[in-house]
Amino acid sequence: MTGFALSPEWTETLTEFLRSAPGLEAVRVDRATRKVAVATLGKVDEEALQTRLREVLRDIALRWGGWADDSDRGAEAPQDGFTLTRKGDQVELTAPTCETAPRFWAWREFAWPEPTEDHEHEDHEHEDDGHDHEDHDWKFLAGLAAICGGAGAVAWFLGRAGEGFEIWSLLLAGVALAAGGWDAAVDSWANIRRGKLDIHFLMLAVAVGAVSIGAWHEAVLLLFLFSASGAMEAYAMERTHREVDALLKSAPKTAMKVADDGQETEVAVETLVIGDAVRVRPGGAYPADGAVREGKSASDESTLTGEAVPVEKTTGDAVYSGTLNLGGAVVFEVEKLPSESTLQKIIRLIQTAQKLRAPSQRFTDKFGGRYTLLVLGACAVMFLVWWLGMGLHPFTNAGEETSAFYRSMTLLVVMSPCALVLSIPSVVLAAIAWGARHGVLFRGGGAIEKLAEVTTVALDKTGTLTTGELSVVGYESLPAGREDAVRELALALEANSQHPIARAIVRDARQRGTAERKVNEFSSMTGQGVRGRMGESKVLLGRRELLDDGPLAQWAEQLPPAAAALAEVWVISEDLVGRILLKDELRSASAGVLLKLRQMGLRSVMLTGDRRQTAEKVAVALGIDEVQAGLSPEDKVAAITELKRNGGVVAMVGDGVNDAPCLAASDVSIAMGARGSDAALEQAEVILMEDRIESVLSALTLSRRVKRVIWQNVTISLGVVVVMAVASIMGAVPLGMGVAAHEGSTVVVCLNSLRLLWGRN
């Protein structure tokens, strides 16, 4: 066997796996050793990654029993920039990335499972699982809680109305118990079938125990408060889903495809491919990401960026899926598959964030299951102590002296971890929903918690502290008089790049009517520039350092530097040297944001590849604490590492391909805007969709609020448990008071978390 291939199904499956797992860069399959290795960049949620990988590997084993053989070799079809390489019995699928990133990859190896009979059974178990508040309509749960509360209140009133109403009181109490315990019973049954016990089981056990000793009204109160808190949790989850639904609705379902002869055909959006021409009429939504080919208009990009001001669009300008065309009809060329559009990536980011748990939440999840068994055991022991050790009647209350069973039920109520288990996920869900509504996307609760601990904020310059929308000031050539040739070479090279400098050069050159020439063997030199070949001539475009490494080094030392306020890009060919001068405007809010960061006790550091003269001028204007200029991507990673080594918790804010490695190296990675590069968005744990530097403050403030609310919730929940448990052991707490105190704390915790949904930062 000289090698093997992946079938089309598995090329697609592994590609989707790479897309959906944050921080995952490559997958390597070795059929000889029956191993699968994954490469990650930066910190990842290993628990979530392993769970997802196990699902993929199990699916491989179940559906096909393994990988394809040589007969499938011709079926390999990597998509949208993904690279598939094969060597012997190894196949490696790599996501699009910059040249520097592989140096920082960390590989993890796993064995794939063999197909067994119990896998099918396990799948059925998972199909039955999921009867939790995330899957239930909060209105349905709120309705059950309302029925429980209403029927219970009437039952209590009738029970005190005198003879003749007892039967009605019991019937209504039964209705209240059925409504209040319905959701808990469904969840408990699903978990019992899997051999697990949780807080839902505890609540039902307490309710049944309370009814068995005649405490009907206490049981109703317990289930009412528990079902009400469950409805609140479901409401928080529904709000996060609502943000995704709003984005999904903004995505068009059909597109008007334009053929070469001008013939228009309405097609499904998912059938579009890169290079297709699509016409969008006024009021219509763009069905994919691309660039304007014909026409002039303006776009409403508020669904992506939160910016209400329309953005002018003309030939060569980028357009984004889901945004609205406000002006005239335009024809644009599809540059990304609809499934990989900016809008779809945002949707996947929100969905992923909802599933990834915060570190403290994972702790309480593990703690909750073990604590449930501990509580059951403690109550059983105390029942024996009260009965056999203290001589209390096991089941019958004698006057004011309560039975051992009654006290055990009270202890079971007050020690149940409902409030503790809900204390953290309710906060995280509310924060994710608030952030999504205000243009701050978090990849799970871990990012929110880590951001609150940041001590140093490192920022890229171009596109972060500045607008990133550069404008060309002028062209220079050596010898003089060949400025048009410099512009032609620059357009040919930069037409293949998405860097902010490239966009500025392409836009200016096309507006001047510059002839477009074809470049061959195009490639990117990460952190330096780009290169290609035009005919037999090699052409370079990039930083001044390109001159320092060649035969022109001594001559280049005599060249005057550009003004401090300008950026320069050099064009070098066999018979021509020239430069392009560009200007980038500072963001109007940058100075205010940096002042606020300083007031919050955070240190600011600017990391940039620009000249020190330019960087220091920006730093003085904005009040940045430290400047490191002239950095390559490797230098930026080293700078981040050094900042961390000095004891700081570092957040990196960037937007470009060159920022991806240092984003991965930071403790918390923050990407600027929906227009940021794919590499930056893939590495970022926090994404600022409004493309505004002020959103950094919103994210930091929100994370600190989340940390405070989490500690408030944990303090409330644990405090009530400890105080009421001690009082219950001493026999000073009746069951009704225990129910009210414990479940009341659960309601308080949920309401405290929901404040984040309605609060302002």
Catalytic residues: 460
Cβ atoms 346, 273 nearer than 8 A: no
Site of tokens 């109490």: 173
SS (H, E, C) 222-253: HHHHHHHHHHHHHHHHHHHHHHHHHHHHHCCC
CA distance 374 to 384: 16
Alpha-carbon distances of 54 from 37, 60, 516, 599, rounded to whole Å: 12, 10, 50, 46
Residue type, 436: A
Q: What are phi and psi of 584, to 5 degrees?
A: -125, 130
Distance CA 654, CA 681 (A): 9
Whose tokens are 């052409």? That residue is 539
Assess contact for 246 and 306: CB atoms under 8 A.
Answer: no
| Angle at CA of residue 423, ends 421 and 425, nearest 5° | 80
**Phi-psi map region of 535: left, alpha, beta (phi>0 left; psi -120 to 50 alpha):** left
Minimal CA–CA distance to 97: which of 18, 161, 176? Answer: 18
The tokens 């940041």 sit on which residue?
Answer: 454
Residue written as tokens 């609060």? Answer: 759
Instruction: From 757, 613, 44, 684, select the one nearest 346 (Cα to Cα).
Output: 684
Nearest Cα neighbor of 444 from 427, 420, 456, 422 is 427
- The CA distance from 707 to 527, in Å, is 37
Distance CA 225, CA 203 (A): 11
- Contacts for 55 with CB less than 8 Å, ≥ 6 apart: none
Question: What is the Cα–Cα distance from 39 to 29, expressed in whole angstroms?
Answer: 12
560 alpha carbon, distance to own chain's centre: 46
β partners of residue 39: 26, 107
Give CA–CA dist 667/277, Å, rounded: 42
Exposed/middle/buried for 687, CB within 10 Å: 0-12, 13-18, 19+? buried
Closest to 760 measured CA to CA, from 696, 705, 689: 705
What tokens were used for 276?
A: 């297709």
Are 721 and 742 spatial neighbours (Cβ–Cβ below 8 Å)?
yes
Structure tokens at 737: 């008071």
DSSP letter (8 states) at residue 520: E
The residue type of 640 is I
